[in-house]
Amino acid sequence: QTHHNHDPFLTTPVPSNPWITDSDEFWQLNSRSVDIPTKLSVERWVLSFWELISDPRGRVDFKLFLKKEHSAENMAFYEAAEEMRWGAASAIPEKSQFIFNTFLKPGAPRWINIDGRTMGLTVKGLVVPHRYVLDAAQTHIFLLMKKDTFYRYLKSPVHKDMQKRALVPSPHVFTDAQLEANVKNRNPGVSPILLWQQEEEEKAAAAVAARPIDVKAMVATNKLDRK
């Protein structure tokens, strides 16, 4: 019952099922880079924290809320841990050092607030890093966001504004002639290579955003007042 409206086998997709009508508008409206998501997507974010962060567009909205709350380091750490777990084994030493310097080291620029026992075990494990060494700390941060931050996000102006702006597409009503025309003008879709390049660009931009800020260099570059 909870997922009935979100299951395309049980409910007709809106504006139409692209496999039947050969119209790719449904895929365009639900793409990962869309500016304004559909109302159905936003409603799905409310179902659970996992639904929210599993949707790339929902994760972007949640990050915006975290930034306004000055707690963006939690999601940044979670994503860094995911990247280390699923990334190349050869990159683990470099990534583990970056994560330690950015999130775990005393005085780190994006230090995360986890209990002392978990912090001690995590830092000790990073001496000989492996892809699962951050599991305990990552779980702690995930549960913190799930049990606390997620519910504050649902009540926040960020989420309420998105609910107001979300799109409600009108259902397609195609004639037989239009369906035949759709077949002839069928869009081959987005190349997987282009999607991969887009994901890599997003990861690179996120990595740049996660780097610690050198205030002295910024002041020197922009010639800002020291105050």
pLDDT digits (tens, 9 = 90+) for 160-192: 999 999 999 999 998 988 888 888 887 766 666
Looking at the chain, how many residues does it have?
A: 227
Residue 22, Ramachandran bin (φ over 0: left; ψ between -120 and 50: alpha; else beta) = left
Encode pLDDT of 108-124 as tens digits. Answer: 999 998 999 999 999 99
Stretch 45-68: mean pLDDT, rounded? Answer: 93
State pLDDT tens for residues 207-223: 666 565 555 555 565 65
| Structure-model confidence comparison of residues 195 and 36, the more confident one | 36
Comparing 24-33, 59-68, 147-156, 185-194, the range with the smallest average pLDDT is 185-194
Task: Please report the pLDDT score of residue 183 as a whole number.
Answer: 84
pLDDT for 221 equals 58
| C-alpha span between 38 and 26 (Å, rounded) | 10
Mean pLDDT for the stretch of residues 92-104:
93
Q: Give the per-residue pLDDT at 218.
A: 54
Model confidence at 227, pLDDT cuts 50, 70, 90, reads low
pLDDT for residue 64 is more than 70: yes
Percent of the chain residues topping a pLDDT of 70: 88
Q: What is residue 55's predicted lDDT score, i.e. its pLDDT? A: 92
Tell me, what amino acid is at 153? Y
Both structure tokens of 127: 């001496």
| Cross-strand pairs, 38 | 167
Q: So what's the pLDDT on residue 226?
A: 55
Q: Which stretches within the chain are classed as H helix?
A: 18-21, 25-29, 39-45, 49-54, 56-68, 72-86, 92-99, 116-125, 135-144, 150-154, 157-165, 176-184, 192-210, 215-222
Q: What's the one-letter identity of residue 200?
A: E
